[in-house]
Structure 1
Amino acid sequence: MNERWKPSVTVAAVIERDGRFLLVEEHTPEGLRLNNPAGHLEPGESPEQGVIREALEETARTFVPDRLLGLYLSRFQRLATGEDVTYLRIAYGGTAGETDSTRSLDDGIERTVWMTLDEVRASRDRHRSGLVLRCIEDFAAGRRFPLDTVFADQSLFDPELK
């Protein structure tokens, strides 16, 4: 019997300020890569809660989502290990506060960088995936869906539910 296919769910934040986009430079098995502040959705949290948490962990900034950018599917094959993963990325746009100097960046995050759209485009070879630029391009194009497009049922937060 075949095992059921399950994509890995991730959330990502696209943050723009004064014509620049906030990215993280992170260590990966493929080397130092640029990414949107992003990460895996954890059990018991909504996608919106997850993106707020991930942005804070990776940038030390409070993220306030104001739009859903879209849902993105991509497949990644790691050459060194043969790992083959399909990701479902839920991307949000919004604003971020100033850096909280009392917080450290998440393990694996080298630094945050602000880049213009042209700089992001010029650095494609350093992106963690093709979704980094795609999400930023969608933000720049004005793509916007209401936050309540993604509904999180209360059962998600019920630890007693079996």
Structure 2
Amino acid sequence: MTAWTAHVTVATVVEKDGKYLFVEEQTEGVMHTVFNQPAGHVEAGETLIQAAVRETMEETGHQVEVTDLLGIYTYTPPMFPDRTYYRFCFLAKSTQYFANATLDTGIVGAVWMSLDELLETARARSPLVIKAIQDAQSGQKFPLSLVYEHQNSPLISNLDA
């Protein structure tokens, strides 16, 4: 039996003119491409917000400014019951687009779609993709101050013990 693993991930919901920024991507265990928000794992040494900005750029070519926390979501995929994803989802706005950006491996491209268009594809990567858009459309948002991310400082690192 495989040990259970927690995965800390981030995602951004970026809206423009009633459409949302999605990533069309290949994913493990699925034959066709799926649609997801720009999302990925938090890397060592970065904050949740830094990870969200980085992942959005790497997967879409859009530089974003994170404006609000949309929500914290959990998901255990049926095909991988030994994994649980803890997803910190942020609202963000695109501040610049780099059309010639090299996108991460496995990313087909970035697309703008409405929620209805996403639902018509029946290719959302997980239920969290749909839920995040529904939450954004309902006006759900929380201030970024809700997320406290301690940055180690040489002056106070000895207090962490």
TM range (shorter): 0.7 to 0.9
Aligned counterparts of 1:87 and 1:75: Cα–Cα separation in 2: 6
Among 102, 105, 108, the residue aligned to 2:103 = 105
Once the two structures are superposed, the pairs formed by residues 72-87 of structure 1 within 5 Å of their partners are: 72-78=73-79, 84-87=82-85
Distance 1:156 1:114, change over 3 A: farther
Q: How many residues matched? A: 155
**1:83 shift after superposition:** 6.1
- 1:135 equivalent to 2:132? Answer yes
Among 123, 127, 136, the residue aligned to 1:126 = 123
Equivalent in the alignment of 1:69: 70
Asked if the contact 2:5–2:83 (Cα under 8 Å) also holds between the matched residues in 1, the reply is no
Aligned counterparts of 2:113 and 2:99: Cα–Cα separation in 1: 21
CA RMSD of aligned residues (A): 2.5
Asked if the contact 2:5–2:82 (Cα under 8 Å) also holds between the matched residues in 1, the reply is no
Equivalent in the alignment of 2:93: 95
Asked if the contact 2:77–2:83 (Cα under 8 Å) also holds between the matched residues in 1, the reply is yes
SS in 1 for 2:76: strand
Identity of aligned residues (%): 38
Gaps of 5+ in 1: none
Letter in 1 for 2:82: D
Equivalent in the alignment of 1:153: 150
Aligned counterparts of 2:49 and 2:106: Cα–Cα separation in 1: 23
Asked if the contact 1:77–1:85 (Cα under 8 Å) also holds between the matched residues in 2, the reply is no
Asked if the contact 2:56–2:62 (Cα under 8 Å) also holds between the matched residues in 1, the reply is yes
Aligned counterparts of 1:7 and 1:48: Cα–Cα separation in 2: 19
Task: Tell me which stretches of 4 or more aligned residues in structure 1 moved more than 6 Å.
Answer: 156-159
Per the normalisation by structure 1, the TM-score is 0.86
Aligned counterparts of 2:96 and 2:45: Cα–Cα separation in 1: 28
Aligned counterparts of 1:6 and 1:156: Cα–Cα separation in 2: 30
Asked if the contact 2:64–2:96 (Cα under 8 Å) also holds between the matched residues in 1, the reply is no
Gaps of 5+ in 2: none
**1:102 shift after superposition:** 3.8
SS in 1 for 2:77: strand
Equivalent in the alignment of 1:38: 39
**1:63 shift after superposition:** 1.1
Per the normalisation by structure 2, the TM-score is 0.87
